[in-house]
Structure 1
Amino acid sequence: MTISSSSSAPRRWLPLILLVLFIGVGLPVGCSQLAQKERELVFNIEPGTASWFAGIPSGVQELNIPVTTGLSETQYIHAWWWPVARKDAPAALYLHGTRWNLTAQVRRITALRNLGYSVLAIDYRGFGESPGELPSERTVYEDARIAWKRLVEFQPDPGKRYIYGHSLGGAVAVDLAREISKNKDPQGDPAAAAGLIIESTFTSLADAAAAVIDTSLPIRWIMSEKFDSIDKIAEVDMPVLIVHGTSDRYIPPRFSQALFEKAREPKRLLLVEGGTHTNSMSVGTREYARAVRDLFKL
């Protein structure tokens, strides 16, 4: 759920609050109509270019990753591939949150690259220059898996492949990491990824909604978009770094603490003092770099 630093908390959470209220009063409405409205409110897509976007960084290669849907129209995932100079450098798949497309992600992508990673960053179908209808939990998971296959082509060494997800992208990253862990190499090698980094994320979308609005509705059971990381992270069989700013006004740090408790070893929880929902990489630059180096042995 990526936002600009100038956004206010009420505005930031308005779609989620509306979602809970809509579900509460809209249960008699047809299921398909309710699910459509839920997805509109969850993803809250901002069209066009972010107002603070100053252009694609030098060295970024734009590419379109084909998506096979079985339908007649051509679909693809628009992506940026930004390699570092060192050819044997680790590579990370960058998965963003809701609302904003890649044009709003440059600072965080740059910070990840400054940690030593070549970065493949994608827009899910329906975001930015990735054509498609309104996304769903299913389609963003699918897009992450397709993008992962491309990352494997860029970095064939499984010991140098990583997954990074911010906010809702953290839930997408956890799902991908679990799938990779479930499908280990038949020769007995470790999972085909060296680590998972999730930042400013939540245990489940329903938990995030419940943290914002006081309601007696059984949110966990009536929302169709689950993004239920708390039930998946224990199946992730790779080192996990969980990062959260202590001053995050949108997603409470306690969600990252709960995910950390469920995650397998080796794992690390980094709470960045004074970090907000969007700036933990810059506020905690040294701590972030140390955590990455110590956990992933980079």
Structure 2
Amino acid sequence: MSSLPFFRTKARTFFSLFAAALLAVLPVGCSMLEQTERELVFRIEPGTASWFRGLPSGVEELELTTPAFGDKQNIHAWWWPADQADAPALLYLHGSRWNLTGHLFRLEQIRSLGFSVLAIDYRGFGKSLGELPSEASVYEDARIAWDHLKSLQPDASKRLIYGHSLGGAVAVDLATDLGQATDDNAGARALIIESTFTTLADIATEVADTPWPIRWLVSQKFDSIDKIDQVRMPVLIVHGTADPYVPARFSQELYDAAQEPKRLLLIEGGTHNNSMRIGRQEYRQALDELLGKTPNIPG
């Protein structure tokens, strides 16, 4: 893995270009401004991740849709049931750039903890048909996927939400929405967010090496810090202490704002993508403690 300075240089370059591009299109109009911002926020890599070697046996490919989608939009998903019958089921929400093929390694790690996993590509990513994603569209996709997960695991006490990086903000939004539902069976057992941030403006300001006022330019808010205190389920917040993209202090701030029961797990030496692998036992223990060792998840 590359060094921390190299990663931070890449991040600073990205957000400096982000600010420059936004300022460049300001005279053209709000529509092009938002289009450019969304392109830079989601940074979609087309095709298959170079390290993807195919789907493991047992993974079912799904196409989720609604009548409003028509024939030009859908949500491509993977459903990977656990070996244990009626195992807890987890909705996996990924971050920017890579589609599902770039996330299989983490799905394998999650499933090894005893979960069945439903993972989606937002519209515009991978095999999911649709235009360039927006904050609103990825929130909608998460809700559609959650409705499908309820049919795969009808027991609300055995359903969890997981979000990584930008997907953490999507997960917080979904959990907030579920906390306001009147249907007792609509909710989740717990929320797990990893390597995520407080708001998009905060992370952009943190790493950008530019005098431009990025905070006031972003329209895609991904504002988890103002939502997380409305989450009405146990929350596990995980962050690697050596994350080169998103400082772990953002997870500390989210933890401070969240309601009990909650747990902050800082993985010593963990980076943006490897905390679950190098901190597997700590992860296992934190989940057991947060969930009160129910539902039963094999160690």
Task: Report TM bin, short chain.
Answer: over 0.9
Q: Deviations over 1:155-206 (max 9, x none)?
A: 0001010000000000000000000001132xxx486111000000000000
Distance 1:149 1:6, change over 3 A: farther
Equivalent position of 1:197 in the other structure: 192
Give per-residue Cα distances to partners, 1:38-75, cap 9 Å, x unaligned: 111110000000000011111111110113326x5342
What is aligned with 1:213? Answer: 208
- The Cα shift of 1:216 comes to 4.9
Task: Decide whether aligned partners of structure 1 residues 144 and 199 sit closer, same or farther in structure 2, where only a CA change above 3 A counts.
Answer: same
Gaps of at least 5 residues in structure 2 are 294-299
2:155 touches 2:185 (CA, 8 Å); kept in 1?
A: no
- Once residues 68 and 95 of structure 1 are traced to their aligned partners in structure 2, the CA distance between those partners, rounded to angstroms, is 23
Equivalent positions of 1:169-248 (< 5 A) are: 169-185=167-183, 189=184, 192-248=187-243
Q: Distance in 1 between matches of 2:12 and 2:133?
A: 19
- The secondary structure found in structure 2 opposite 1:62 is strand
Distance 1:146 1:6, change over 3 A: farther
What SS does the aligned partner of 1:93 have? strand
| Separation in structure 2 between the aligned mates of residue 201 and residue 17 of structure 1, nearest angstrom | 20
Structure 1 position 6, deviation (Å)? 5.5
1:1-298 to structure 2, matched below 5 A, reads: 8-9=6-7, 10-12=9-11, 14-69=13-68, 72-185=70-183, 189=184, 192-298=187-293
C-alpha displacement of 1:29 = 2.6
Q: Deviations over 1:78-133 (max 9, x none)?
A: 00000012122110000000000000101111111111110000000000000111
What is the CA–CA distance in structure 2 between the aligned matches of 1:80 and 1:13, rounded to whole Å? 34
Cα RMSD (Å): 1.7
The alpha-carbon deviation at position 235 of structure 1 amounts to 0.5
* 2:191–2:234 contact (8 Å) kept in structure 1: yes
Q: Secondary structure at the match of 1:69?
A: helix
Gap change, CA 1:156 and 1:90, over 3 Å in 2: same
Number of aligned residues? 290
The more displaced of 239-248 and 51-60 is: 51-60
Q: Secondary structure at the match of 2:79?
A: strand
Task: Measure the CA separation in 1 of the matches of 2:253 and 2:113.
Answer: 26
Secondary structure, in 3 states, of the residue corresponding to 2:65? strand
* TM-score, scaled relative to structure 2: 0.92
Q: What's the secondary structure of 2:118's corresponding residue?
A: strand
CA distance in 1, matches of 2:210, 2:11: 19
Distance, in Å, in 1 between the alignment partners of 2:2 and 2:167 is 21
What one-letter code is carried by the residue in structure 2 that aligns with 1:37?
Answer: T
